[in-house]
């Protein structure tokens, strides 16, 4: 007879240990990568894809990385034939949707690089979401001028489960 209350107590403990267990698991960051930068470069850019598998919208509120003094979400727009960058203000990720950061589009600007990004290395990037909180990803550095990561987390035909980046 003692079994049921014990199990209930464990469930309550587990639920209170994590404030928003659903939000974090529902947001997945895939294929984080960056281009290698020349030795004298002040700035770099990082790219990835965020998928919202949950049922509530979320927003990317801030970005940080130990390799840069500052990191900001930017978008690239072509106006009058000139490519311009401007800050992306708290981009939203709707339920069931993905937000793509890629060359020529939205990207994470790494401002004030503390050291060059070297091909083959990886560095941490912490994405802070309004609901999911902090999601830390390892950004793989590809060759300078690469247009996509050499190894994607999944192919276009794979619609199976994605790895959680909370590890």
Q: Which residues bind Cu ion (CB under 5 A)?
A: 74, 85, 109
Shortest distance, CB of residue 44 to Cu ion, whole angstroms?
A: 10
Among all chains, which residue has been given the structure tokens 């339920």?
95
- Residues 101, 108 contacting (CB under 8 angstroms): yes
Match 């894809």 to its residue by tokens. Answer: 49
Which CB sits closer to Cu ion, 71 or 132? 71
State in angstroms the smallest separation of the CB of 140 from Cu ion: 19
Nearer to Cu ion, 24 or 74 (CB): 74
What are φ and ψ of residue 7, in 5° steps? -65, -40
Q: Which is nearer to Cu ion, 85 or 146 (CB)?
A: 85
- CB-based closest residue to Cu ion: 74
Q: For Cu ion, give the closer residue by CB, 74 or 140.
A: 74
Q: What phi and psi values does residue 46 have, to the nearest 5 degrees?
A: -125, 150
In angstroms, rounded to a whole number, what is the distance separating the alpha carbons of residues 58 and 73?
Answer: 15
- Tell me how far, at minimum, the Cβ of 89 lies from Cu ion, in Å: 14
């Amino acid at each position: 007879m003692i079994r049921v209350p014990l199990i209930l107590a464990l469930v309550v403990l587990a639920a209170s240990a994590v404030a928003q267990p659903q939000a974090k698991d529902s947001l997945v960051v895939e294929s984080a990568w960056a281009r290698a930068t020349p030795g004298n470069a002040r700035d770099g850019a990082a790219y990835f894809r965020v998928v919202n598998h949950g049922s509530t919208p979320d927003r990317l509120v801030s970005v940080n990385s130990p390799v840069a003094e500052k990191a900001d979400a930017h978008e690239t727009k072509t106006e009058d034939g000139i490519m311009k960058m401007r800050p992306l203000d708290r981009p939203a990720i709707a339920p069931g949707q993905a937000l793509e950061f890629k060359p020529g589009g939205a990207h994470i600007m790494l401002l004030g690089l503390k050291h060059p990004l070297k091909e083959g290395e990886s560095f941490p990037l912490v994405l802070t979401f309004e609901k999911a909180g902090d999601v830390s990803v390892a950004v793989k550095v590809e060759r300078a001028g690469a247009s996509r990561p050499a190894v994607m987390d999944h192919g276009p035909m794979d619609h199976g489960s994605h790895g959680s980046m909370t590890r």
